A and B are shown apart, each in its own frame.
Chain A
């Protein structure tokens, strides 16, 4: 490597100022919530915020607030602006075309009742994302005005750690990272574990392709996650916490940093929280682009500064985790549910959803669906309601083919199960998993063999290489799937694919390898005909694979 000089190295990226909006000091008659989460920002919603603040001021509307808020949900139609007093949502807002919005704000009268919500919102129940699109994510006072940190104060002043545990156990909340392990049980294990030093880790390494729930929660309402972590620290007896966040989410990282600083300054994190002896310090740790770090033992290795390779369990991190101390690891969305559970009681939460899968789940609805975006629905809702009522059906009215949940660890659910309730058990029964909440809708333009190959390619590249079944197995499976896609496979190869998938599932060290064959299993189960078409007829029914292209050339 040649000696680099100062000139041939690219400089630091220039940081742009983020606009704050304009909130009047006096009473507010009407307000405009302008989404400043990543999707809308990429459509220049920061310019919309600035322009709107200017135009409202020019129009002399001194009692109108123009507010920076987090995700409003309907990400594909951004930039989004909502007027909460009337419930109207303005989509695709442009800085040079805000006249209608200003008129709407001028016309709001005190006591106006919001109109009925659009179908996209009507079926949703907001718990984890209740503040998304309502609070300013960089303003602690705004969060506190919506009961922010009240749950933490209640826990510290009026509850014992055991009482907090009781509420979480009673809520029936299960891990929202994907596996669905009962949160209360995990907390109880850490609380009981011996050790003077304990840790709380928030897993914000949202690596599933097609999932952006955690990013949205962190960008929209970071304090809620910190509050959940602090309550967890109090319940299990930990005084240190880490948020392990993807470096690919710069806005989420920036807002987390701001939130940690503001909460620390207000005495809500750090020493003597809320004038009690309880202390809880939170640090941010950045991931660096490794899917396997979502696995808890790999995540711990990464927080300790090493390569993110998993280790065999037991011992589980709840007993021996970070620096071999008992460590509680929960997902962002899990922590986001804690404050409302403490405020309203575990029984209230258990009343939402189904008996075995309580509460709500946030899904990132994407793919070939009209309304892509972030939705939060009660457990037990059917897939049809999500895809058709909330999602507005398939783009261009094409036929529905499958819904993919759980990312590379999940499976494809075909049309016949559209009326199945969405809960942990039902999804498992049909060969998929809840996963962290990615929900990709596919139409007839997707080849299911190619989809299986796509996910296997992902697992092959993201395998950490520590254990052989995963390192070599995923590569071999990918080769087999490629030969099927290219039309050079035989029926023997199909049998080999199934045998090898089973072996990788049974013998891999961690969840990545154990679940890597799931997309193969589920596509074989429901779309075996497509595999056979590639092998026997040398055609790709969806017209995606090279085999089909070659057919066309030969004719």
Chain B
């Protein structure tokens, strides 16, 4: 197993690199810590950009191609910066049965964004999730980290427009 000897210098003097660095060190810079380290980086910065991927690759002694492969394989990781507010609409089975599709298309009509897109003014990112596990509250969404349940399309659009 290739062991990286020293963690390379951070790409900038942003203090949040230290969070990523600490995580790598705690996990012994082992290549199998890749997903854990990417989680730490995304939690710190909100998304994973090329600098981050290169930094993690060097720090763990993993080829950049593998880091990129892992970062793009898992839907939880995002390579694009997100809007000011993140709206994650659940499209799991219970939410689908209770009309999640209508909510997504209503947001599309109201704000002009499709899932995975951010409004041009960078205010709201619309995302969809496979299942939030809040099936009792269907249809549900997470708005800025808070679960909202028993939604109606009109109320959601009104709330997002008022943000």
Interface residues of A (CB under 8 A from B): 1, 3-6, 8-13, 38-39, 41-43, 75-76, 78, 206-212, 215, 247-249, 285-291, 302-308, 364, 366-368, 372-373, 404, 407, 438, 440, 442, 446, 454-455, 458, 462, 464
Closest partner residue, chain B, to A14 (CB atom) = B145
**9 other A-B residue contacts (CB within 8 Å) besides A10-B81, A42-B140, A440-B97:** A6-B15, A9-B46, A12-B16, A78-B136, A212-B135, A247-B39, A247-B76, A288-B75, A288-B76
Q: CB distance B33 to A305 under 8 Å?
A: yes
**With A210-B94, A373-B136, A407-B93 given, is the CB distance from A308 to B74 under 8 Å?**
yes
Nearest CB in chain A: distance from B4 CB, A: 14
Nearest CB in chain A: distance from B119 CB, A: 15
A161–B11 Cα distance when bound, in Å, is 52
A249–B12 Cα distance when bound, in Å, is 32
Q: CB distance A302 to B35 under 8 Å?
A: yes
A47–B132 Cα distance when bound, in Å, is 22
Q: Which of A38, A206, A290 contacts B74 (CB 8 A)?
A: A290
Q: Which of B14, B49, B148 contacts A6 (CB 8 A)?
A: B14
Closest partner residue, chain A, to B145 (CB atom) = A13
A368–B94 Cα distance when bound, in Å, is 8
Residue B57 at the A interface, CB < 8 A? no
A1–B82 Cα distance when bound, in Å, is 14
Nearest CB in chain A: distance from B10 CB, A: 12
A287–B15 Cα distance when bound, in Å, is 26
Closest partner residue, chain A, to B60 (CB atom) = A305
Closest partner residue, chain B, to A309 (CB atom) = B73
Q: CB distance B35 to A288 under 8 Å?
A: yes
Interface centre among A1, A209, A372, A458, by most chain B C-beta atoms within 10 angstroms, is: A209
Q: CB distance A364 to B135 under 8 Å?
A: yes
Task: Enumerate 13 A-B pairs (CB-CB under 8 Å) in ascending A order.
Answer: A3-B12, A12-B16, A42-B140, A76-B136, A209-B94, A209-B130, A247-B76, A248-B129, A288-B75, A306-B34, A372-B135, A454-B93, A458-B130
Q: CB distance B97 to A446 under 8 Å?
A: yes
Q: How many residues of B contact A (CB 8 A)?
A: 56
Q: CB distance A305 to B32 under 8 Å?
A: yes
A-facing mask of B121-163, CB < 8 A → 1, else 0? 0000000011111111110100001111100000000000000
A66–B74 Cα distance when bound, in Å, is 41
**With A290-B74, A305-B34, A305-B35 given, is the CB distance from A75 to B136 under 8 Å?**
yes
**With A308-B73, A366-B138, A440-B97 given, is the CB distance from A42 to B146 under 8 Å?**
yes
A185–B145 Cα distance when bound, in Å, is 42
A-B contact count (CB 8 A): 169
Q: CB distance B39 to A286 under 8 Å?
A: yes
A407–B98 Cα distance when bound, in Å, is 16
User: Which A residues touch B133, using CB under 8 A?
Assistant: 38, 206, 211-212, 215, 248-249
User: Which A residues touch B14, using CB under 8 A?
Assistant: 5-6, 9
A-facing mask of B76-111, CB < 8 A → 1, else 0? 110001101000000111101110000000000000
User: Which B residues touch A41, using CB under 8 A?
Assistant: 147
Q: Which of A9, A76, A249, A307 contacts B45 (CB 8 A)?
A: A9
User: Which B residues touch A464, using CB under 8 A?
Assistant: 73
A302–B145 Cα distance when bound, in Å, is 25
A454–B131 Cα distance when bound, in Å, is 13
Q: CB distance A76 to B137 under 8 Å?
A: yes
User: Which A residues touch B136, using CB under 8 A?
Assistant: 39, 75-76, 78, 366, 372-373
Residue B38 at the A interface, CB < 8 A? yes
User: Which A residues touch B81, using CB under 8 A?
Assistant: 4, 8-10
Nearest CB in chain A: distance from B138 CB, A: 6
Q: Which of B33, B77, B135, B145 contacts A210 (CB 8 A)?
A: B135
A206–B38 Cα distance when bound, in Å, is 21
A249–B132 Cα distance when bound, in Å, is 8
Q: Which of B34, B76, B84, B138 contacts A289 (CB 8 A)?
A: B76
User: Which B residues touch A8, using CB under 8 A?
Assistant: 81
Nearest CB in chain A: distance from B34 CB, A: 4
**With A248-B76, A285-B35, A367-B98 given, is the CB distance from A42 to B135 under 8 Å?**
no
Nearest CB in chain A: distance from B57 CB, A: 12
A146–B146 Cα distance when bound, in Å, is 32
A78–B73 Cα distance when bound, in Å, is 36
Q: CB distance A42 to B70 under 8 Å?
A: no
The 7 closest A-B CB pairs, nearest first, are: A75-B136, A42-B147, A288-B74, A210-B93, A209-B92, A289-B76, A305-B32
User: Which B residues touch A287, using CB under 8 A?
Assistant: 74, 76
Q: CB distance A42 to B130 under 8 Å?
A: no
Q: CB distance B32 to A303 under 8 Å?
A: yes
Closest partner residue, chain B, to A44 (CB atom) = B146
